[in-house]
Amino acid sequence: MTIDEKLTILTESAKYDVSCSSSGSTREENYGGLGATGTSGVCHAYSADGRCISLLKILLTNYCIYDCSYCINRISNDRPRAAFTPREVAELTINFYKRNYIEGLFLSSGIISNEDHTMSLLLKTLQLLRHEYHFNGYIHVKLIPGAAQELIIATSLLADRVSSNIELPSSKSLQLLAPEKTKEKVFLPLLQAKNYALENGKRPIGMSTQMIIGATPESDFEIMRLSDSLYSKAMLKRVYYSAYIPVNNDKNLPALNVPPPLLREHRLYQADWLLRFYDFKVDEIVNEEHPYLDERFDPKLAWALRNLHYFPIEINRAEKETLLRIPGFGARSVQKILRARRQKQLSTNDLIAMKISLKSARYFITVGGKQPEKTLMSYEALEYKLLALPKPLPTAQPTLFDHFASISGEL
């Protein structure tokens, strides 16, 4: 099989993984040769679905001994199979990097023969890249649940980011659709990599995971609660959400013609953002009473509508944290207001001059004691007004946010 054919098959098999971030490496080792990493990532291209291409995202192989119902590469599917050698992957990475196509490699794999064998092939690839090609660019590698601890640790020492996908938001769904996996098994390699770093006085490597949205019946509340504990307890850097695209016919899954829930995915990313950078608690966004995110409004606006007593907020006096809670204001607008109001008392015209969007914010603020929109209306009236606004297009993945990383505080 030619490299060309392998690349086609192994790209097709890898494309459902969402993560493509190349930001926030904290690696201290320098392998001396080609490449560099920075705190903010670079999107080198955008594919026809509008998603950022930052890394060469491929599988080492799509042969797999597992039979996970949601996965295109499951053993019971009749698909073309291929396997790269570690050297082929290294050559591709180096040659793509030199041409400035990519920031580095995102390498994942189906389980070939067994977990240890697969993990050691991934490790071999990283060793080649780091030690023989002296590649110093970004490497994100999947850790294989069930592989030996030594292999996991050796691999994580060579990478910039490691991940292991939980895929389904509850143990029950996991048991139903991926009988070979359990939550504990999936997170064990991440735990091992983290503990090794901590015990040896190294900075813990960036870790992430991914959840498939809409394949199973969990509510947004359950999903966000899981994310929250992954951020706070497991110290993950990112949780990715992937709208389920039906790839297999299975009685336990949505039918093949069900479109992926892109808007729900988008709202989950927004909620995730509120959790990480806007100091919101899960309960404020979704809770027993409101277990699903409102698809009509972004979650901050939805929260504001449920908490009208919190408003209006005076933009000349409110603290940064309070300003960040105003619907329609992002980190950038707040930064501008904080800077400008040091010089003078701000008026509505000043806000307009700084091109701060007041579309939704104007119902929730006062400027020098006056409200741009006369009275704060009832929930119903506001809802009506706000729904008349043009809807933002759901984006495939919050890649835009990555550009703003330095402002919003993500490392």
Partner 1 sequence: MIWRYDGSFEGFLSSVVQSYTDKTLPDLLTKSEVDIGLFDEILDISTNTKDALKLLHAIEKQLGEKIKEKIYHTFLCDDQPFENDLLRYIRLGFKEPSLLEMISHPLVYAIEEYQKRTLRTIHKMNAFSRFETLEDGTLYAQISPPRNVLPLMGGHFKKRFKHERFIIHDLKRSMALIYDGHSLELHNIHDYDLPQRSFDEEKYQHLWKRFFDHVAISERLNPNLQRSHVPLLYREWMCEF
Nearer to partner 1 by Cβ, of 16 and 231: the residue is 16
Minimum separation from the CB atom of position 78 to partner 1 (A): 19
Nearer to partner 1 by Cβ, of 16 and 66: the residue is 16
Query: Considering only CA atoms, which of 1, 12, 3 is closest in space to residue 245?
Result: 12
Minimum separation from the CB atom of position 38 to partner 1 (A): 8
Minimum separation from the CB atom of position 202 to partner 1 (A): 23
Hey, what amino acid is at 348? T
Query: Considering only CA atoms, which of 387, 388, 365 is closest in space to residue 376?
Result: 365
Nearer to partner 1 by Cβ, of 147 and 346: the residue is 346
Nearer to partner 1 by Cβ, of 25 and 120: the residue is 25
Query: Considering only CA atoms, which of 229, 224, 237, 235 is closest in space to residue 272?
Result: 224
Nearer to partner 1 by Cβ, of 94 and 230: the residue is 94
Minimum separation from the CB atom of position 249 to partner 1 (A): 16
Minimum separation from the CB atom of position 321 to partner 1 (A): 21
Nearer to partner 1 by Cβ, of 42 and 154: the residue is 42
Query: Considering only CA atoms, which of 173, 209, 60 is closest in space to residue 126?
Result: 60
**What 8-state DSSP symbol labels residue 363?**
G
Nearer to partner 1 by Cβ, of 13 and 164: the residue is 13
Minimum separation from the CB atom of position 179 to partner 1 (A): 26
Q: Concatenate the DSSP letters of all residues of 386-408 into one string.
A: HHTSPPPPPPSSTHHHHHTHHHH
Q: Which residues, listed in sequence order, are joined to residue 207 by a DSSP beta bridge?
A: 162
Structure token digits, residue 402: 């990555």
Helices marked H in 159-239 = 171-177, 183-199, 220-232
Minimum separation from the CB atom of position 257 to partner 1 (A): 11
Minimum separation from the CB atom of position 97 to partner 1 (A): 8
In angstroms, the CA 26 to CA 38 distance is 9
Minimum separation from the CB atom of position 335 to partner 1 (A): 10
Contact assessment for residue 394 and residue 266, using Cβ atoms and an 8 Å cutoff: yes
Angle at 63 between CA 182 and CA 21, to 5 degrees: 65
In angstroms, the CA 243 to CA 265 distance is 6
Contact assessment for residue 34 and residue 137, using Cβ atoms and an 8 Å cutoff: yes
Q: Concatenate the DSSP letters of all residues of 88-142 into one string.
A: HHHHHHHHHHHTTS-SEEEEE----SSHHHHHHHHHHHHHIIIIIS---SEEEEE
Nearer to partner 1 by Cβ, of 41 and 299: the residue is 41
State the residues that interact with partner 1 by CB under 8 A: 3-4, 7-8, 11-12, 14-16, 33-36, 42-53, 56-58, 92, 95-96, 98-101, 137, 245, 259-260, 262, 336, 339-340, 342-344, 346, 350, 353-355, 393, 395-396, 399, 403
In angstroms, the CA 206 to CA 197 distance is 11
Nearer to partner 1 by Cβ, of 286 and 367: the residue is 367
